[in-house]
Amino acid sequence: MEKDIGFIGVGNMATSIIAGLIKKSCISSRKIWIYDHKLTTNKSISTKYNINVANSSEVLTQKVDILFLTLKSSILLKLLKNISNHIKKDTIIVSVAAGISISQIEKIVGYDKKIIRAMPNINSSVCEGMTSLTPNKALNQLDIDLIFKIFKMFSKTTLIDEDLIHTVIGISSSAPAYVFMFIEAMADAAVLNGMTYLQAYQFAAQAVKGSAEVLLETKKHPAELKNMVCSPGGTTIEAIKILEQKNFRSAVIEAIQQCILKSHKLGKGY
């Protein structure tokens, strides 16, 4: 790929995307630019991946063809006001900020600018991410295909309507945290029964990974797959009984609902 790609804000999400790109060797590391207000972050990430550091967000904006805005929602709009005059006509702006709509970005940078909202997750760092894309009307099909090509290098990718982005955040972008918590709890139970943490994390993580693969490959309903594991009067149904008594599914639904509501609130500025 001959395009220069830049990241303003180099936190966990930006680092995951950069790691995915580098792992796939789809773009020269010298075509990737970063800028973060933390100078130590710029130095450590640029050294790790052998990528370029810009002197400022304005300088980076002028250099790149695809501009990733991987910043917190609370500071994105302010940043856009600072760089809007430096954005080139054909630059594709990729916003990864939760709660900031395309129309909010357009009001600052102009309605003729190419803007696409992306909601990836940190699993992109191991090329197992999931990303939603929502383009504005300024992008043509070649532009959309290009952004799809980039994200497909390290994640499954699909187009969605903008009003579903909050839901994507709840069920995908934030979801690795829930899964890590579940794995940690399973491992704690194993350690309680004499297993080392090293072994416990391996067993628990592989159980989650493998179960996801079974679901995706067989396309069976999760309840059907669960029933296949539960033998009459067996050990698994005992565990299921406790999870039901503790309102496991209700807790998951409520947690994701609160995550989605928070995303809506971020878009309203509180």
Domain interval for residue 261: 173-267
Residue 240 lies in a domain: yes
Residue 168 lies in a domain: no
Beta strands in 83-167 (DSSP E): 92-95, 114-119, 129-135, 155-159
Residue 190 lies in a domain: yes
For residue 65, the model assigns a pLDDT of 96
For residue 269, the model assigns a pLDDT of 64
For residue 9, the model assigns a pLDDT of 95
Residue type, 28: S
How many Å apart are CA 165 and CA 160, to the nearest integer? Answer: 7
- What would the pLDDT profile of 178-236 be if each residue is shown by its tens digit? 999 999 999 999 999 999 999 999 999 999 999 999 999 999 999 999 999 999 999 99
CATH number at residue 128: 3.40.50.720
For residue 34, the model assigns a pLDDT of 96
Same domain, 144 and 208: no
Same domain, 180 and 154: no
Same domain, 154 and 186: no
Into how many domains does the chain fold? 2
Same domain, 103 and 177: no
How many CB atoms sit inside 10 A of residue 111's CB? Answer: 13
For residue 121, the model assigns a pLDDT of 93
- What would the pLDDT profile of 158-192 be if each residue is shown by its tens digit? 999 999 999 999 999 999 999 999 999 999 999 99
For residue 1, the model assigns a pLDDT of 67
Helix (H) or strand (E) holding 7: strand 5-8
Same domain, 209 and 126: no
Residue 188 lies in a domain: yes
> 110: which 2 tokens?
């102009």
Domain boundary among 100, 131, 162: 162
Burial of 77 (0-12, 13-18, 19+ CB in 10 A): middle
Sequence-ordered list of residues with C-beta below 8 angstroms from that of 96, at least 6 positions apart, any chain:
13, 14, 68, 69, 70, 117, 118, 119, 120
Residue 167 lies in a domain: no
Sequence-ordered list of residues with C-beta below 8 angstroms from that of 23, at least 6 positions apart, any chain:
126, 127, 154
Same domain, 124 and 177: no
> 154: which 2 tokens?
């390290």
Average pLDDT over residues 239-257: 97
Domain boundary among 94, 129, 162: 162
Rounded percentage of the chain residues whose pLDDT exceeds 70: 99
Domain boundary among 162, 193, 208: 162
- What would the pLDDT profile of 117-159 be if each residue is shown by its tens digit? 999 999 998 989 999 999 999 999 999 999 999 999 889 999 9
For residue 209, the model assigns a pLDDT of 97
Same domain, 145 and 206: no
- What would the pLDDT profile of 64-102 be if each residue is shown by its tens digit? 999 999 998 888 999 999 999 999 999 999 999 888 999
Same domain, 177 and 243: yes
Residue 213 lies in a domain: yes
Same domain, 220 and 118: no
Residue 21 lies in a domain: yes
Residue 101 lies in a domain: yes
Same domain, 104 and 14: yes
How many CB atoms sit inside 10 A of residue 207's CB? Answer: 12
> 255: which 2 tokens?
């947690």
- Answer yes or no: is pLDDT of 270 > 70: no
How many CB atoms sit inside 10 A of residue 269's CB? Answer: 9
- Answer yes or no: is pLDDT of 36 > 90: yes
Same domain, 184 and 128: no
Nearest one of 217, 218, 222, 266 to 240, comparing CA atoms = 222
- Answer yes or no: is pLDDT of 41 > 60: yes
CATH number at residue 233: 1.10.3730.10
Nearest one of 32, 115, 14 to 71, comparing CA atoms = 14
Same domain, 126 and 187: no
